[in-house]
Amino acid sequence: MNSLTELFKKKTSKLLSIYITAGYPKIDSTVGIIQSLQNKGVDFIEVGFPFSDPLADGPVIQQTSNQALSNGMTLELLLDQLKEAASDISVPLLLMGYLNPVLQMGMETFCRKAGEAGVSGVILPDLPIEEFEDQHTDLFRSSKLHVIFLVTPETTLERIKKIDRLGSGFIYAVSASSTTGRQDSFSRAQTDYLGRLNSLNLKNPVMTGFGIHNSKTLQTVWEYTSGAIIGTAYLKALMKSTSEKQAVDLLFQQLGLDN
């Protein structure tokens, strides 16, 4: 069974996912970072493969992506690294990135290599759901890869239901209509939006990302949805740290999780 599916059968609330940039800070850093996060008890990890034009990402993720590209990281190299280390990785992995590198590799090759590398699912923010429905549904299902789609406060109820029907694994709720990065706190409008999602009785759990960086924002997200996805706050901790372990310890302290 897909390891992300197994996770959500065992745990339905207070999940924590961390986003990392593959190939940052060094080209061979990715596996060590994954292992440090799984040792800390993170529920699953989103591994971002860098792209030269990350439209939905804030300045920190753009900075790490640019460094990773300068280091020589590619989607093919990442999949090779994950495959080689698969026996040492127990936490579910998702690949997150943009469609262009996937199309350059070829969708069938990408799905095959992702499966061989032990990947549980993919998040491709610029893959239109209509294109997925028309061209790729059978391929991803036969490859046993979840495809996760994003919703925002502006997403209509009709489209949310379509995403819930066609996507799998979970729904990625973007907490605000902006690029990724730090926000001081969640507004009433944001919590109302998360509450509406929670009230829809969707078949897929909802994970919330963007703007989660301290205990208050984490607890708010945990109150309204199944879990939190944290990227910028972790990457900032990594920039300040001298080791992968120190970075995750610093993040957990920031989130109020080190008791």
Domain assignment present for 108: yes
Among all chains, which residue has been given the structure tokens 């900032």? 236
- Average pLDDT over the chain reads 94
What confidence tens digit (pLDDT) does each residue in 211-248 have? 999 999 999 999 999 999 999 999 999 999 999 999 99
Domain assignment present for 109: yes
Domain assignment present for 236: yes
CATH number of 224's domain: 3.20.20.70
Active site residues: 46, 57
pLDDT at 90: 95
Please report which confidence band the pLDDT of residue 259 belongs to, taking 50, 70 and 90 as the band edges: low
What confidence tens digit (pLDDT) does each residue in 159-191 have? 999 999 999 999 999 997 655 445 567 889 999
Domains: count for the chain: 1
Domain assignment present for 63: yes
Cβ distance 244 to 32 under 8 Å? Answer: yes
Domain assignment present for 187: no
Radius of gyration of the chain (CA): 17
Closest CA to 227 of 177, 179, 187, 169: 169
Question: What are the distances in angstroms from CA 190 to CA 176, 196, 213?
Answer: 7, 10, 15
Domain span holding position 36 = 13-147+218-255
Domain assignment present for 203: no
What confidence tens digit (pLDDT) does each residue in 149-167 have? 999 999 999 999 999 999 9
What confidence tens digit (pLDDT) does each residue in 30-60 have? 999 999 999 999 999 999 998 887 666 788 9
Domain assignment present for 166: no
Sheet with 150-151, strands from edge to edge, namely 146-148, 121-123, 93-96, 44-48, 15-21, 227-230, 206-209, 171-174, 150-151
Question: In angstroms, rounded to a whole number, what is the distance separating the alpha carbons of residues 168 and 24?
Answer: 28
pLDDT at 181: 44
**Which DSSP state fits 45?**
E
Question: In angstroms, rounded to a whole number, what is the distance separating the alpha carbons of residues 77 and 231?
Answer: 22
Domain assignment present for 33: yes
Closest CA to 87 of 42, 35, 43, 47: 35
What confidence tens digit (pLDDT) does each residue in 127-153 have? 999 999 999 999 999 999 999 999 999
pLDDT at 56: 63
Cβ distance 171 to 205 under 8 Å? Answer: yes
